[in-house]
Amino acid sequence: MTWFPQTGPSPHLSWKELACRDGTSYPVEWRKDRAVKLAVEFERIRAAVGGRILIGSAYRTEAWNKKVGGVKWSQHRLGLALDLYPPEGMFVAGFFNIIRQIADDPKSAVYGVGLYPTFVHFDCRQTPNRDRLAIWNGSRISAERKNV
């Protein structure tokens, strides 16, 4: 994948989209590893659905994570998670199934997938066992904010 250091880690994922909603930039020290891993999987998901995906939440500072009700050890705090809204015309359950299929690929770095009423969470958590995929149904109605 091509690296776009000025604009973002991939063609369809920008540093602005990865930044915390409190205005804190995605940490520079994570840009060449964590952000790239996340971007590779984001681009795979985008290609699978064939279009634009809105990001509700990406990196979160500890304070912002607490403010939005995130779990204490959220992968968002580590810069390894995205909450994604399905493309227009796609049901969230179908979107979840597509992301789940990508996560099942042995080459995938997706280790966590959560289904929520209006969005899907995926993360590239660091785990020693490729056979373990965290899957859950959440109850939050929305991620933090849709990017327009």
Helix (H/G/I), strand (E/B), else coil: 81 = strand
Residue 2 falls within a domain, yes or no?
Answer: no
User: pLDDT, tens digit, for every residue of 27-82?
Assistant: 999 999 999 999 999 999 999 999 899 999 999 999 999 999 999 989 999 999 99
Q: State the residue for tokens 């359950």.
A: 93
Tell me if 5 is assigned to some domain.
Answer: no
Query: Which pLDDT score, from 0 to 100, does residue 134 have?
Result: 87
Cα 13 from chain centroid (whole Å): 10
Q: Which domain holds residue 91?
A: 15-137
Residue 97 within any structural domain of the chain: yes
Is 147 inside a domain boundary? no
Instruction: Give residue 19's pLDDT band: very low, low, confident or very high (50, 70, 90).
Output: very high
Q: What is the CATH number of the domain that holds 45?
A: 3.30.1380.10
Q: What pLDDT, on a 0 to 100 scale, did the predictor assign at position 66?
A: 96
| pLDDT tens digits, 79-134 | 999 999 999 999 999 999 999 999 999 899 999 999 999 999 999 998 756 667 88
Task: Name the burial class of residue 84, with classes exposed (0-12), middle (13-18) and buried (19+) by CB atoms within 10 angstroms of its CB.
Answer: buried
**Which residues face 114 on adjacent strands?**
121, 136
